[in-house]
């Protein structure tokens, strides 16, 4: 039996189908328009060609067009001026210009003005024309992607600057208490909010803290949050009486907000470190949680009305901080508005206290406790909490 060697069968690789482009030719010379059509036909280019003889007509045919081939000598638009008018309405369509041999300098100027390419009449065949139009479309898409990336980077930089304004370094020198801060932006889900906090010591034994939240999500709300925080710090440092500070902050809010419906919630606490007493003032904000004696409980303070509607302020609540070890947790509602996995039930203040009373929470070091709480809330929510979360944990003594 004779052996036969069989050559391996060559594999054919099929090229990916090219995208079919919709091209608008703006040309008033019938002969030149016929030539462009024939060149594209000769190259078997997968283009749908539309023709307009004036710039005015071209503006009515832009829908769905990916590339415009523009003659720079039209009855109603001449030279670079015509290109500028077309670019103003071209949107995401790429633009190539057609010039004569004696006007090639106009092609260079056109690219500088925003055209993707230029072609010289009489020096183009079908393959070159097809390639140039496709390259123009890809360059336009690349330019738009780069522009979007730059805009995202600018927004991120702006958001980062605003966040730094919302979250200052505590201005304190005492070692009688520790202050642990936490902030996580909702920008992970496309949000930037107006959550803010601040800590200011006045004299040797007075410590003032605040946590606030401007309603809404965006740069305007974040900027307003910065203004409110700076105003609060200035008022406290200036020695304004405690019962007048939030009213003055509200005046700033009402004069600087972009719309009458914008409001803010606030929890402010003044500590007397000498007597271990605190005064709690709420304006529509969730109550602080006190960790003392081995359990967590919300401070029984009157909630008050949000800042921005000029209500009569709620009376302050006096808090005795008995025992050697205690902690007071202030937070924004982003922490407690996540779901718990049980129907539509939300964590809320009682759920937060339940987390803090869990045996697992007792083994968490105090500086790490805010981040631990957010992790537990994320887990119960089935994913990251959608809102900003800001927390201040004021601690006295070495333990829970």
> pLDDT tens digits, residue range 244-258?
999 999 999 999 998
Report the pLDDT value the prediction gives residue 15, as an integer from 0 to 100: 44
- Band (73; pLDDT cuts 50, 70, 90): confident
Q: What backbone torsions phi and psi does residue 310 show, to the nearest 5 degrees?
A: 55, 50
Under 8 Å between Cβ of 25 and 33:
yes
List, by residue range, all CATH 3.60.40.10 domains of the chain: 167-396
Residue 261 reports pLDDT greater than 50: yes
Question: What tokens appear for 303 in the block?
Answer: 């909630």
> pLDDT tens digits, residue range 314-354?
899 999 997 778 999 999 999 999 998 787 899 999 999 99
Work out the number of other CB atoms within 10 angstroms of the CB of residue 367.
14
- Band (299; pLDDT cuts 50, 70, 90): very high
Report the pLDDT value the prediction gives residue 135, as an integer from 0 to 100: 92
What residues contact residue 190 under an 8 Å CB cut-off, 6+ apart? none
Report the pLDDT value the prediction gives residue 101, as an integer from 0 to 100: 72
List, by residue range, all CATH 3.40.50.2300 domains of the chain: 21-147
Q: What percent of the chain has pLDDT over 70?
A: 90
Report the pLDDT value the prediction gives residue 166, as an integer from 0 to 100: 63
Report the pLDDT value the prediction gives residue 235, as an integer from 0 to 100: 97
Q: How is domain 21-147 classified at the architecture level of CATH?
A: 3-Layer(aba) Sandwich (3.40)
Question: What tokens appear for 229 in the block?
Answer: 């925080």
Q: Which of 166-170, 239-243, 394-398 has the least mean pLDDT?
A: 166-170
Report the pLDDT value the prediction gives residue 9, as an integer from 0 to 100: 43
Report the pLDDT value the prediction gives residue 192, as an integer from 0 to 100: 60
Residue 16 reports pLDDT greater than 90: no
- Band (10; pLDDT cuts 50, 70, 90): very low
Q: How is domain 167-396 classified at the architecture level of CATH?
A: 4-Layer Sandwich (3.60)
Report the pLDDT value the prediction gives residue 148, as an integer from 0 to 100: 83
Residue 167 reports pLDDT greater than 70: yes
Report the pLDDT value the prediction gives residue 162, as an integer from 0 to 100: 62
Please choose, from the candidates 176, 169, 171, 164, the residue with its C-alpha nearest in 3D space to the C-alpha of residue 394: 176
For residues 86 and 83, what is the distance between their CA atoms, to the nearest angstrom? 5
Report the pLDDT value the prediction gives residue 44, as an integer from 0 to 100: 87
- Band (213; pLDDT cuts 50, 70, 90): very high
Residue 180 reports pLDDT greater than 50: yes
Q: What percent of the chain has pLDDT over 90?
A: 60
Under 8 Å between Cβ of 212 and 228:
yes
R_g of the chain computed on alpha carbons = 33
- Band (198; pLDDT cuts 50, 70, 90): very high
String of DSSP letters for 94-114: EEEEEE-GGGHHHHHHHHHHT
Question: What tokens appear for 37 in the block?
Answer: 């059509």
Q: Which residue has the higher pLDDT, 166 or 59?
A: 59
Q: Which of 14-18, 127-131, 284-288, 372-376 has the least mean pLDDT?
A: 14-18
Q: Is this prediction's pTM over 0.85?
A: no
- Band (13; pLDDT cuts 50, 70, 90): very low
Report the pLDDT value the prediction gives residue 5, as an integer from 0 to 100: 39
- Band (177; pLDDT cuts 50, 70, 90): very high
For residues 162 and 154, what is the distance between their CA atoms, to the nearest angstrom? 12
Whose tokens are 């030719």? That residue is: 25
Residue 143 reports pLDDT greater than 90: no
Report the pLDDT value the prediction gives residue 380, as an integer from 0 to 100: 92
């Amino acid at each position: 039996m004779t052996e036969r060697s069989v050559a391996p069968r060559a594999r054919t690789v099929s090229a990916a189908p090219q995208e079919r482009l919709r091209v608008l030719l703006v040309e008033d010379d019938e002969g030149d328009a016929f030539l462009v059509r024939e060149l594209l036909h000769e190259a078997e280019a997968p283009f749908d060609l539309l023709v307009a003889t004036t710039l005015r007509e071209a503006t009515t045919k832009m829908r769905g067009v990916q590339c415009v081939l523009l003659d720079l000598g039209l009855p109603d638009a001449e030279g670079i001026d015509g290109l500028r008018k077309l670019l103003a309405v071209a949107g995401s369509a790429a633009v190539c210009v057609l010039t004569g041999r004696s006007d090639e300098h106009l092609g260079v100027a056109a690219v500088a003005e925003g055209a993707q390419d230029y072609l010289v009449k009489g020096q183009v065949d079908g393959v070159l024309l097809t390639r140039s139009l496709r390259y123009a479309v890809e360059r336009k898409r690349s330019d738009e992607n780069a522009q979007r990336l730059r805009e995202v980077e600018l927004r991120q930089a702006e958001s980062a600057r605003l966040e730094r304004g919302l979250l200052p370094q505590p201005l304190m020198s005492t070692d009688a208490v520790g202050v642990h801060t936490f902030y996580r932006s909702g920008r992970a889900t496309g949000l930037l909010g107006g959550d803010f906090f601040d800590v200011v010591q006045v004299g040797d034994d007075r410590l003032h803290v605040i946590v606030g939240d401007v309603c809404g999500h965006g740069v305007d709300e974040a900027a307003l949050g910065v203004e409110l925080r700076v105003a609060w710090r200035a008022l406290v440092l200036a020695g304004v009486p405690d019962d007048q500070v939030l009213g003055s902050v509200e005046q700033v809010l009402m004069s600087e907000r972009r719309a009458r419906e914008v409001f803010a919630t606030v929890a402010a606490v003044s500590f007397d470190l000498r007597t271990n007493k605190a005064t709690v003032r709420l304006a529509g904000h969730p109550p602080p949680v006190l960790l003392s004696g081995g359990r967590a409980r919300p401070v029984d303070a009157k909630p008050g009305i949000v800042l921005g509607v000029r209500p009569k302020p709620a009376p302050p609540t006096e808090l005795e901080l008995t025992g050697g070890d205690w902690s007071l947790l202030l937070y924004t509602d982003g922490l407690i508005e996540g779901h718990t996995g049980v129907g539509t039930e939300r964590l809320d203040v009682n759920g937060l206290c339940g987390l803090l009373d869990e045996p697992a929470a007792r083994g968490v070091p105090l500086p790490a406790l805010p981040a631990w709480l957010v992790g537990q809330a994320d887990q119960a929510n089935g994913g990251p909490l959608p809102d900003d979360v800001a927390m201040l944990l004021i601690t006295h003594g070495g333990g829970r």
